[in-house]
C-alpha cells in the first residue's frame, strides 16, 4: 500500500497541525481544508477506518464525538459545523471530519470534493454511533451508490441553486447565507 495512505498517522504527531491531544485521541487541522475551519479527530488506537468498526469500538466513537463537540464549543461557539465520516475514505486511520458549513476554501476545487461533504457520502457521526448500537456494524452504501453520490449534480447546501460548474458554485457561496 502507498505510504501516502498513512500520511494522517504522521500528521497526528505534527505540532503545527495538532490542536488537541489526550491519552485516547488527537485532533489535527486538515492540511487541505475544504472550508474555513476543518479538523480531523483520530483515535490513537490503530483503527483503520469505518468499514471494520464493531461494538467494541462504541466507546471510542462516542469519545471522539464528545471531545469534538467540546472542542467546537470552546473555540467556535455559534458557528455551524458538520461532524461525519466519508463513506469511502481515501486515507488510513479512522478520522472524523469537523467542518464548518461555509465551504469557503481554495482547496475545495472539484465536484467530488463538494459531493463528498454535501451528499449521503458524508455519514454523520451520530449515524455511525447509532448503527453500531443497533446493528454492531456501520451500514454503508454499496460502492456503486457511493460513486453515484460523488457524481451528483452540483447543488447549494443552503438553497435550491444548482450551479453548472465549480466556479459558479464558489461564487454563489460568497453570497448565500
Ligand atoms: P478522507 O477522504 O475522509 O480520507 O479525507 C482525508 C482528509 O485528510 C482530507 O480532508 C484531506 O484534505 C486531509 N489530508 C490529506 N493529507 C493530509 C495530511 N498529510 N495531514 C492532514 N490532513 C491531510
Task: Decide: 108 and 35 in contact? Cβ < 8 Å.
Answer: yes
CA distances from 27 to 86, 92, 128, 139, 164 (A): 17, 15, 19, 25, 35
| pTM for this prediction | 0.97
CA distances from 19 to 10, 11, 52, 68 (A): 15, 11, 27, 11
pLDDT mean over 136-140:
97
pLDDT mean over 35-59:
97
From the CB of 43, is ligand 1 less than 6 Å away? no
Give the per-residue pLDDT at 2.
Answer: 72
Active site residues: 95
From the CB of 5, is ligand 1 less than 6 Å away? no
pLDDT mean over 92-120:
97
pLDDT mean over 92-104:
97
Kindly tell me if the per-residue pLDDT of 146 is higher than 60. Answer: yes
The length of the chain is 177
pLDDT mean over 109-115:
98
Q: Which of 3-7, 44-48, 147-151 has the lowest mean pLDDT?
A: 3-7
Give the per-residue pLDDT at 3.
Answer: 86
pLDDT above 90 covers a percentage of the chain that reads 95
What's the grid cell of residue 166? Answer: 465549480
1 — pLDDT class (breaks 50, 70, 90): low
What's the grid cell of residue 163? Answer: 450551479
Give the per-residue pLDDT at 153.
Answer: 97
pLDDT mean over 34-63:
97
For strand 38-43 and strand 25-29, is the pairing parallel, antiparallel, or unpaired? antiparallel
Kindly tell me if the per-residue pLDDT of 177 is higher than 80. Answer: no
What's the grid cell of residue 16? Answer: 503545527
Give the per-residue pLDDT at 106.
Answer: 96
From the CB of 6, is ligand 1 less than 6 Å away? no
**Residue from 2, 7, 100, 115 whose mutation best tests the ligand 1 pocket (most atoms within 8 A of CB):** 7
Task: Decide: 42 and 28 in contact? Cβ < 8 Å.
Answer: yes
Q: Which domains does the chain have, with CATH numbers?
A: 3-151 (3.30.428.10)
From the CB of 131, is ligand 1 less than 6 Å away? no
| 1 vs 126 pLDDT, higher one | 126
Nearest CA to ligand 1 atom 19: 7
Amino acid at each position: 500500500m502507498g505510504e501516502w495512505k498513512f500520511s494522517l498517522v504522521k500528521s497526528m504527531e505534527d505540532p503545527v497541525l495538532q490542536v488537541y491531544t489526550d491519552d485516547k485521541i488527537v485532533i489535527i487541522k486538515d492540511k487541505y481544508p475544504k472550508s474555513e475551519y476543518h479538523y480531523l479527530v483520530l483515535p490513537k488506537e490503530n483503527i483503520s477506518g469505518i468499514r471494520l468498526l464493531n461494538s467494541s469500538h462504541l466507546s471510542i466513537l462516542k469519545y471522539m464525538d464528545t471531545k469534538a463537540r467540546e472542542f467546537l464549543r470552546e473555540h467556535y461557539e455559534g458557528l455551524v459545523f458538520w461532524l461525519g465520516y466519508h463513506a469511502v475514505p481515501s486515507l488510513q486511520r479512522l478520522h472524523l471530519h469537523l467542518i464548518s458549513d461555509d465551504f469557503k476554501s481554495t482547496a475545495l476545487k472539484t465536484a467530488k470534493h463538494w459531493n463528498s461533504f454535501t451528499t449521503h457520502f458524508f455519514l454523520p457521526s451520530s449515524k455511525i454511533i447509532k448503527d453500531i448500537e443497533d446493528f454492531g456494524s456501520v451500514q454503508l452504501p454499496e460502492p456503486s451508490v457511493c460513486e453515484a453520490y460523488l457524481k451528483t449534480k452540483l447543488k447549494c447546501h443552503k438553497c435550491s441553486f444548482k450551479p453548472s460548474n465549480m466556479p459558479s458554485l464558489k461564487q454563489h457561496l460568497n453570497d448565500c447565507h
